[in-house]
Structure 1
């Protein structure tokens, strides 16, 4: 099965209470884990996302889609990066747990929909 493991955090708020040493060690930890997952063949795709200051929000206004620089979705934490892995649910949770133990912020593990899990229309 394929799972998406999503890391959340408001980069500014997340990092403002951390030391430069912690930030460096977190970056090294994430690169090491990403490399291990790629080497094992478990990763289908992985990417970090730029800070929300560079994001756009598209809303439906006055009958048309309108892109803006904000306001952003009503969330305290935004998606900061993700892995798509081809593993068991237990392994996906194990991977997320390693990261959560380090960063102390939540991660979401969600199965990617395929023909067997797609809702009937």
Structure 2
């Protein structure tokens, strides 16, 4: 099965309270997990995302799409990056749990839609 593991990170004040050693440790852990996934052949794709302040949000307003700068209002945690992995659900949970134990920000795991179990 293929799963997307989405990493959410704090912005602004939530990262301001983290030490340079913590930030360095978090980066090291993420690179370590990424390297293991690559080495094991479990990684389909991965990437980090720019800060949400550089995002464009498109909303439907007054009957038409309206692009605006920035993320959703009052965001404390935003999507920071992702892994797409080809693993069991248990392994996906194991990967996310390993990262969450250090970063303390949530991660979301979703099975890719075109990889649903066959119920025929």
Deviation at 1:34, TM superposition (A): 0.6
Q: List aligned pairs for 1:46-65, cutoff 5 A.
A: 46-65=46-65
Measured in 2, the distance between the counterparts of 1:79 and 1:71 equals 10
Correspondence for 2:106: 106
Deviation at 1:70, TM superposition (A): 3.9
Correspondence for 1:15: 15
The structure with the largest strand share of the pair is 2
How much is the aligned-residue C-alpha RMSD, in angstroms?
Answer: 1.9
Measured in 2, the distance between the counterparts of 1:115 and 1:98 equals 24
Alignment gaps of 5+ in structure 2:
none
1:97 aligns with 2:97: yes
Q: How many pairs align? A: 118
Correspondence for 2:66: 66
TM-score (normalised: structure 1): 0.87
Measured in 2, the distance between the counterparts of 1:37 and 1:46 equals 10
3-state SS of 1:32 partner: helix
Deviation at 1:32, TM superposition (A): 1.3
After TM superposition, the structure 1 stretch with the greater mean CA deviation from structure 2, 107-116 or 89-98, is 107-116
After TM superposition, the structure 1 stretch with the greater mean CA deviation from structure 2, 8-17 or 52-61, is 8-17
Measured in 1, the distance between the counterparts of 2:74 and 2:50 equals 18
Measured in 1, the distance between the counterparts of 2:116 and 2:28 equals 37
Deviation at 1:4, TM superposition (A): 0.7
Deviations 1:49-72 (A, max 9, x none): 110110011011222211111462
Deviation at 1:5, TM superposition (A): 0.5
Deviations 1:3-46 (A, max 9, x none): 11111122323311110111111111111111111111101011
Measured in 1, the distance between the counterparts of 2:74 and 2:20 equals 29
